[in-house]
Amino acid sequence: MTFSEITKMLEQAGISSPAFEAAELIVRFEGVSRAAARFGDYSSPLLTEALNKRIKGTALQYILGEWDFMGYTFKVTPDCLIPRADTELLCSYLCKSAPRGGRFADLCTGSGCIAIAALLERPDLTAVAVELYPQTLEVARENARLLGVSERIEFILGDACTDTLEGDFDIIVSNPPYVTAEEMATLSPEVLGEPHHALTDGGDGLSIIRRIMEIYLSHLRKGAPLAIEFGWRQGPAITEIAESLGLFSEILKDIEGRDRVAIIKRKE
């Protein structure tokens, strides 16, 4: 199979970036450079198997077994949510806002990409990462080991909707499940291949966010923020929840100008 033939097969399967994905698959399973990927004729059984999986709807990231976030490569499996560029806003805020030598917590850590990338960007920080599902937590542990930050991060197997933390923190972040039950019905088969519990709370998409606001402000040092990613339509609801709890909220917009991250603090 040539690059052009693979691209056409992906295009016919409805893949939105067929040339990009063809190159990614060839590089990964044929061991050639991206520059060379367009010029060979490929027949590897591994490439054929990967191509068939992609055509049937398996996410490219799960097929490759890895994906980049904040410029670092993370292991990903079907046990965890795929790292997304939108979430880099939350991680960037963490990196910029944590004080020197600070300690932060990452709730619903998934692959660990937020916490681990922040530790790589800020070698002075230490972290606690909380995850409900054991298999997912193992992916995060492996990523910490592979990227060399295991000594600066503590992993906790626990439910973010209960108080899982001990001590005080300079910042707490979370990318919790926030897709509504109604929105789940509109997602592509590819996205629905990701763990549903990492996408949705099964209701209005706000229940876990509400619980995090209720619980974790008590673990923040004076003036320290709680930063939460949410769905771009949920900004007004997030502000309303914060106000009902007597909290200050600020909404950050992503690169496309959409509401994406809430900064929550106690009112002074």
Tell me, what DSSP letter sits at residue 85?
G
Region 190-217: mean pLDDT is 94
Look at residue 188 in the predicted model and tell me its pLDDT. 87
| Per-chain mean pLDDT for the chain | 95
Contacts 24+ apart (CB under 8 A), 187-192: 189/57, 190/57, 190/58, 190/59, 191/59
Tell me the CATH class for 66-266. Answer: alpha beta
Average pLDDT over residues 102-114: 98
Alpha helices in 13-58 (DSSP H): 18-30, 45-55
22 closest CA partner among 36, 39, 35, 4: 4
Rg value, the chain, Cα: 20
Q: pTM here? A: 0.94
Six-digit token pair at 38? 């367009």
* pLDDT at 111 (0 to 100): 98
Output the pLDDT for position 112: 98
Q: Are the beta carbons of 15 and 50 closer than 8 angstroms? A: no
Query: pLDDT per residue over 42-60, tens digit each?
Result: 989 999 999 999 999 999 9
User: Following DSSP, what letter does each residue of 207-245 receive, concatenated?
Assistant: HHHHHHHHHHGGGBPTT--EEEE--TT-HHHHHHHHHHT
Reading the block at residue 193, the tokens are 């291949």
Per-residue pLDDT band for 267 (boundaries 50, 70, 90) equals confident
Position 215 confidence tier, pLDDT thresholds 50, 70, 90: very high
- pLDDT at 34 (0 to 100): 86
Mean pLDDT, residues 71-93 taken together:
97
Give the CA-trace dihedral at 199, 176, 260, 128, to 10 degrees. -140
Nearest of 189, 194, 199, 186 to residue 57 by alpha carbon: 189
Residue range 144-153: mean pLDDT, rounded: 98
**CA distances (Å), origin 194, targets 121, 163, 201:** 27, 26, 14
Q: List Cα–Cα distances, 196 to 43, 154, 168, 190, in angstroms.
A: 35, 25, 31, 12
Query: Quick check: 71 pLDDT over 80?
Result: yes
pLDDT band at 170 (very low <50, low <70, confident <90, very high): very high
- Average the pLDDT over 104-130 and give the result: 98
Give mean pLDDT, residues 211-229. Answer: 96
pLDDT at 5 over 80: yes
Domain ranges of the chain: 3-56, 66-266
* 106 and 169 Cβ atoms separated by less than 8 Å: no
Query: Taking 80 as the threshold, does the pLDDT of residue 268 lie above it?
Result: no
